Amino acid sequence: KGKCPEDGWDESTIELFLHELAVMDSNNFLGNCGVGEREGRVASELVARRHYRLIHGIGRSGDISAVQPKAAGSSLLNKLTNSVVLDVLKLSGRYKYENIFHLWVRVMNSVCLFLTYFLCAGVQTVTNCFVVPMATGMSLTLCFLTLRHKRPKAKYIIWPRIDQKSCFKSMITAGFEPVVIENVLEGDELRTDTEAVEAKIKALGAENILCVHSTTSCFAPRVPDRLEELSVICANYDIPHIVNNAYGVQSSKCMHLIQQGARVGRIDAFVQSLDKNFMVPVGGAIIAGFNESFIQEISKMYPGKASASPSLDVLITLLSLGASGYKQLLKERKEMFSYLLSELKKLADNHNERLLDTPHNPISLGNS
């Protein structure tokens, strides 16, 4: 069914499963003799084992999501990973509601439980996603490049400021000029200046703007962008909206913002890091969105084949955690965050400092 199993699998089950995938690739066929230039030849046995003999990578020359006939196992791995990851993206958005509803559920019966899950599933609307073997910045670049031929006159990207170099460079590398919108200080929080965004769009002309590039996960005192307002502005001016959700999957609040933005306005794609959200080595990201054909267009923009390693790592991780294990980690993170907040407050008081009051930031805290 392509869903993340509720309970995690043990190591030997996962290995058996990976071996079954690997024997479907032609390089592992008995008596195979490939004469092409790319036949999954590997000199070192150590390297072969490190990759579970899945040597073909993913995609075909024209599309990173396409099926490769020579490599049925690797192709299946890729499809499964994308589908399991999609399931988990939905789960993270749903998680917030589950907490509220759990209170009810304790009081009411199992009919209500069914209703709860029905309602929960109804709030999430992510329709498509795929794993790319590039980190977040390059994945954002790929999104911008996909938009380029749809908006031939566009030169600018509207970008509410965030002090992070790779998201800035993602726009430069794609060949666009970032138009920095300074945030406004509200109490201790730095928040999106939506009026300035709209004024800039009017001044530059909507057709000259490639997209609005907003951010959810960020360091305090900046807080996640006002995604609802930005999404509405994008819908009104017919401007694409790309969201940098670098480490936002592990925060139900960030996922909820994306959900709401897409509901009331326009979000074309949102990008998240694999290592920051799924505890795997650096090397991959997930590009997700609400419009299947746009997400497919992005995957078709990727030139050539790609490494299967990031997909393999995240699939192994999610199979071993299971949905319940991942949810448990989300819950622990949330509890640790409130503990960190209360202890940091004490520390600040003891040293004549002040913990900044940034309630809209669910991930980061700052002292002053």
Ligand X SMILES: *Cc1c(COP(=O)(O)O)cnc(C)c1O
68 binds ligand X (CB under 6 A): no
Of 40-48, 74-82, 159-167, 331-339, which segment contacts ligand X by CB under 6 A? Answer: 159-167
166 binds ligand X (CB under 6 A): yes
CA nearest neighbour of 249 among 220, 221, 213, 280 = 280
* Calculated CA dihedral for residues 173, 257, 190, 218, nearest 10 degrees: -50
* Residue with smaller CB distance to ligand X, 139 or 231: 139
What track of x and - describes contact with ligand X for positions 283 through 322 (by CB under 6 A)?
----------------------------------------
Which one among 82, 92, 136, 259 touches ligand X, defined by CB under 6 A?
136
Of 45-53, 99-107, 134-142, 298-306, which segment contacts ligand X by CB under 6 A? Answer: 134-142
* Residue with smaller CB distance to ligand X, 179 or 218: 218
CA nearest neighbour of 304 among 22, 130, 35, 60 = 60
183 binds ligand X (CB under 6 A): no
User: Which whole-number Å values give the CA distances from 62 to 134, 169, 226, 285, 302, in the listed order?
Assistant: 17, 26, 36, 20, 7
CB 333 within 8 A of CB 253: no
Cα 22 to Cα 327: distance, rounded to the nearest angstrom: 30
Lookup: tokens for 192: 């999106």
260 binds ligand X (CB under 6 A): no
Cα 45 to Cα 55: distance, rounded to the nearest angstrom: 12
167 binds ligand X (CB under 6 A): yes
Of 29-37, 186-194, 221-229, 243-251, which segment contacts ligand X by CB under 6 A? Answer: 243-251
**Least distance in Å: CB of 167 to ligand X?**
4
* Residue with smaller CB distance to ligand X, 320 or 364: 364
CA angle 16, 311, 118 (to 5 degrees): 90
CB 230 within 8 A of CB 258: no
**Least distance in Å: CB of 261 to ligand X?**
17
User: Which whole-number Å values give the CA distances from 194 to 121, 182, 210, 345, in the listed order?
Assistant: 31, 10, 17, 31
Which one among 65, 116, 141, 164 touches ligand X, defined by CB under 6 A?
164
Lookup: tokens for 153: 């006159």
Of 195-203, 214-222, 340-348, 356-364, which segment contacts ligand X by CB under 6 A? Answer: 214-222
215 binds ligand X (CB under 6 A): yes
Of 47-55, 71-79, 132-140, 350-358, which segment contacts ligand X by CB under 6 A? Answer: 132-140
95 binds ligand X (CB under 6 A): no
With 0-12 CB in 10 A as exposed, 13-18 as middle and 19+ as buried, what is 103?
exposed
Of 118-126, 147-155, 161-169, 358-366, which segment contacts ligand X by CB under 6 A? Answer: 161-169
CA nearest neighbour of 265 among 229, 226, 211 = 229
**Least distance in Å: CB of 170 to ligand X?**
7
* Residue with smaller CB distance to ligand X, 254 or 323: 254
Q: Locate all alpha helices (DSSP H) within 23-55, ordered by sequence.
A: 45-50
Element (H, E) at 186: strand 184-186
361 binds ligand X (CB under 6 A): no
135 binds ligand X (CB under 6 A): yes
Where do contacts with ligand X occur on this chain (CB under 6 A)?
Answer: 135-137, 162, 164, 166-167, 215, 217-218, 244, 246-247, 273
